[in-house]
Amino acid sequence: MLCVWCGEPLSPLEPRYTFANGPVAHRACALRQVVGSVAHLEGRCGCVVPGSPAGDPPGLTRRQAAEAAVVAWRLLGEAARTEDDAL
């Protein structure tokens, strides 16, 4: 079975997300489709900076870029919790 996002095989023991219409994705790949690229999370993408070509980090596979986006997303969540605790 191949991941709908990165095209790599899913092993039977890997965490996965099964979409309602049937396709499956690695957990990180499914999250990447929701949270966006590292550049998006950092506010450097074309959504925020008109004309910006920034997206996934160069040199990474789609799966590696998805994993990097999940790490960035978690760090943003931790930073937000730290700010909330300081209030």
pLDDT digits (tens, 9 = 90+) for 54-80: 888 899 999 999 999 999 999 988 776
How many CB atoms neighbour CB 4 within 10 A? 19
20-64 confidence digits (pLDDT tens): 999 999 999 999 999 999 999 999 988 889 998 888 889 999 999
Q: What pLDDT is stored for residue 66 in this prediction?
A: 96
Task: Please classify residue 21 by burial: count the beta carbons closer than 10 Å to its beta carbon, then call 0-12 exposed, 13-18 middle and 19+ buried.
Answer: exposed
Q: What pLDDT is stored for residue 24 in this prediction?
A: 96
How many CB atoms neighbour CB 66 within 10 A? 27
Domain residue extents for the chain: 36-86
